[in-house]
Structure 1
Amino acid sequence: MTSTLHPPAEPMLRDAVAKLPTYIAGRSAESALTAALASNESHFTPLPSVVDVIAAEGARIHKYPSMGSAEAREAIARHFSVSAEEVAVGPGSSGVLQQMIAAVCDHGDEVVFAWRSFEAYPILISVAGARPVAVPLLANEHHDLAAMADAVTDRTRIVILCSPNNPTGVSIGSAEMEDFLAKVPPHVLVVIDEAYIEYQRSADGLDSLELFRRYPNICVLRTFSKAYGLAGLRVGYAIARPAVAEGLRRTAIPFGVNRMAQRAAVASLAAETEIRTRTNAVAEERGRVISSLRSFGWQVPDSEANFYWLRVPDQQREQILAALSDADILARGYPGDGVRVSLADRETNNRVLAVLSDRSRFGAQ
């Protein structure tokens, strides 16, 4: 604690904030020739029906949006057969998660999550004054759910499960999830972060909404940023029991989701057929690209997202990123872990495959 007799010469950050790592976003394309595959954005242009409602809202941006995103909450509730009281909306799923941690965690409480997983988790947890508890992934890139259950203590308030996991793309299976939930105390909120769920095609993939209906401590977290192509508008949502969802709404920034985002979310839910067609195309390309990479000798886990993962040592990671950059391709590198590459159209994916086709140039045997 700083002594009042000798105050600092200038305003100071909280110690926890000063020590935070900076969230590093994927690099954006610098020219029309650059393939920006570092941020997991949808490579499809926005749906025409969504563009129309965004344009209409442009004439009303001098007015505040709905404080509680009422129309969007009602549309989400109808779409998933839940009540509007069980829905909370925020500025992207990251924003909703921040609301969640603020609503549930006191100073010193613990939040358990897998690592490597979404980079924002430890940052959001630390900002709230809670303690991040990272549990390493298994060698096959799956969540180590047994170890995560063992990591739960009397101070644990939230467990975050990212499925499909970012950046590995691996999904959690139904049977292992049931075993995990049987071990977790009912007062611990289990957040299933499904930012990429629309791309999942595995027969063994989780039915998180069915789990939500059976387990009162389940919270489903999703976003419109990925498959729905609204990354630039920032709108996500959570489905949780009414008391939890109300807590998320209470901790939300007033008017945090703008008018255009709210209307675009509603229009996107109405375009289910078009979204399914687009995600089917991504899933088909994903299978083709991963199969090709494996034929080149790369070890690639079964991704259920719109990206794939190469776990490589740091020197090889730098070589891969440099070679891709030389070909005007931006990918995402994770020091100490590997490289994540977003999927795009067939021509762009082929550009990546051409770079990675010869593993020997990266020191691989």
Structure 2
Amino acid sequence: MLRSDLSSFPEYKVGKDFPDALKLSSNEVAFPPSENIIAAAADAARTTNRYQQPGSPELTNALCNYLDVPADNIFVSAGSTPILQATILACCQTGDEVIVPWRSFEAYPLYVRMAGATPVLTPLTADYRVDLDAALAAVNDKTKLIILCNPNNPTGTVFTRGEFRAFMDRVPEDVVVLLDEAYWEYNDAPDTPDSVEEYTRYPNLLGVRTFSKAWGLAGMRVGYAVAGREIINALRLLSLPLTVTAMAEMAAVEVLKHHDELLDAVAITKAQRDRVAHELGAEQSYGNFVWLPRGDAAEVEQKILDEGVVIRRYLDEGVRVSITNEEETTQFLEAWQRAGIKPWTA
């Protein structure tokens, strides 16, 4: 009755949560929405007996002004993952291949398989950066899509604008490149590529961002894509309609009105991120998290949980610690010290 391969699909799991524990497993922000954002969502709730306008026109217009991008080049969705799914459907049929530098966001290969395509996982560099040369080497006549995460989740590493352009100049024009910039607002690396600038240069480029991270609307589910009209029209064709609720749309509009205030909180998070990296001897991260490669990841996860903090483990590869504010960072570092976790040497 159901797909014969259904049992082989891994369940996508969000970061763990435990009552009374400090949750640093899902890259969320610590601060709740401001009163004006709550008021905007509540006001929109008064009209939820009617369907919202298709295409989220008010948010699209707000993004036009914020990004200086035409409306025809913007697509709004209920988070960034539906954009990922629609992009795979737009690009791939059964037997096609999608290149995914790995380790990265766990949903990528899962959604590729759901569409009947084959994920081709290429290795990161020794310092956990996306290896653009390795991704290029995997391209063949079956390749339809390449998914890049910058900053990469969970490793927090980035590639430069020059590296990206050299890569894009060599990617076949009929292969779409999805640049996932979920952590864009935290990326303070010099000379980093910006999909909002690059999409006009490369018709096969699609940039994806979200309101779930820096903007603090994880529970509202709002994301958007920026690309050429051909790709945007394909996303509109293949995405479910009316997925962004009226409340989520107006909350996101309000966020953009007050983006400067929210970016002040981002600056606090970046300072605490750098503090954790320094104190634990981790590599520089450009997301709102720190990656700690460790073969004893399961033991570390349990030890820190015993001290009242939840972090995210990636098999036996390492752990990712979400970074929020000074108070929670201090709480985490004190728990780490109490747990007696020693530096890892491979």
Conservation of the 8 A alpha-carbon contact between 1:117 and 1:162: yes
- When residues 361 and 243 of structure 1 are mapped into structure 2, their CA distance, relative to the original with a 3 A threshold, is closer
Equivalent AA in structure 2 for residue 251 of structure 1? L
The TM-score normalised by the length of structure 1 is 0.91
Partner of 1:337: 317
Q: Deviations over 1:122-157 (max 9, x none)?
A: 111111111111111111000110010111111111
Partner of 1:307: 289
Given candidates 53, 65, 71, the residue that maps to 2:58 is 71
Deviation at 1:17, TM superposition (A): 3.0
Matches of 2:284 and 2:49 in 1, distance apart? 47
Aligned residues: CA RMSD: 1.6
Partner of 2:307: 327
Equivalent residues in 2 for 1:226-237, closer than 5 Å: 226-237=213-224
Equivalent AA in structure 2 for residue 14 of structure 1? R
Matches of 1:245 and 1:354 in 2, distance apart? 47
Conservation of the 8 A alpha-carbon contact between 2:73 and 2:228: yes
Equivalent residues in 2 for 1:1-365, closer than 5 Å: 11=1, 13-31=2-20, 34-294=21-281, 300-313=282-295, 316-357=296-337, 361-362=341-342, 364=344
Matches of 2:339 and 2:156 in 1, distance apart? 22
Deviates further, 47-56 or 139-148: 47-56
Deviation at 1:324, TM superposition (A): 1.0
Matches of 2:92 and 2:12 in 1, distance apart? 22
- When residues 58 and 317 of structure 1 are mapped into structure 2, their CA distance, relative to the original with a 3 A threshold, is same
* Aligned residue pairs, count: 345
Conservation of the 8 A alpha-carbon contact between 1:42 and 1:226: yes
Matches of 1:73 and 1:130 in 2, distance apart? 31
Conservation of the 8 A alpha-carbon contact between 1:40 and 1:226: yes
The TM-score normalised by the length of structure 2 is 0.96
Matches of 2:224 and 2:344 in 1, distance apart? 42
Deviation at 1:361, TM superposition (A): 4.3
Matches of 1:145 and 1:176 in 2, distance apart? 8
Deviation at 1:356, TM superposition (A): 3.0
Equivalent AA in structure 1 for residue 97 of structure 2? E
Conservation of the 8 A alpha-carbon contact between 1:99 and 1:252: yes
Q: Using the aligned pairs only, state the percent identity.
A: 37
Matches of 1:115 and 1:179 in 2, distance apart? 20
Deviation at 1:332, TM superposition (A): 0.4
Matches of 1:164 and 1:268 in 2, distance apart? 22
Matches of 2:185 and 2:256 in 1, distance apart? 12
- When residues 272 and 360 of structure 1 are mapped into structure 2, their CA distance, relative to the original with a 3 A threshold, is closer
Matches of 1:255 and 1:61 in 2, distance apart? 12
Q: SS at the partner of 1:15?
A: coil
Q: SS at the partner of 1:30?
A: coil
Deviation at 1:354, TM superposition (A): 2.3
Equivalent AA in structure 1 for residue 130 of structure 2? H
Runs of 5+ unmatched residues, structure 1: 1-10, 295-299
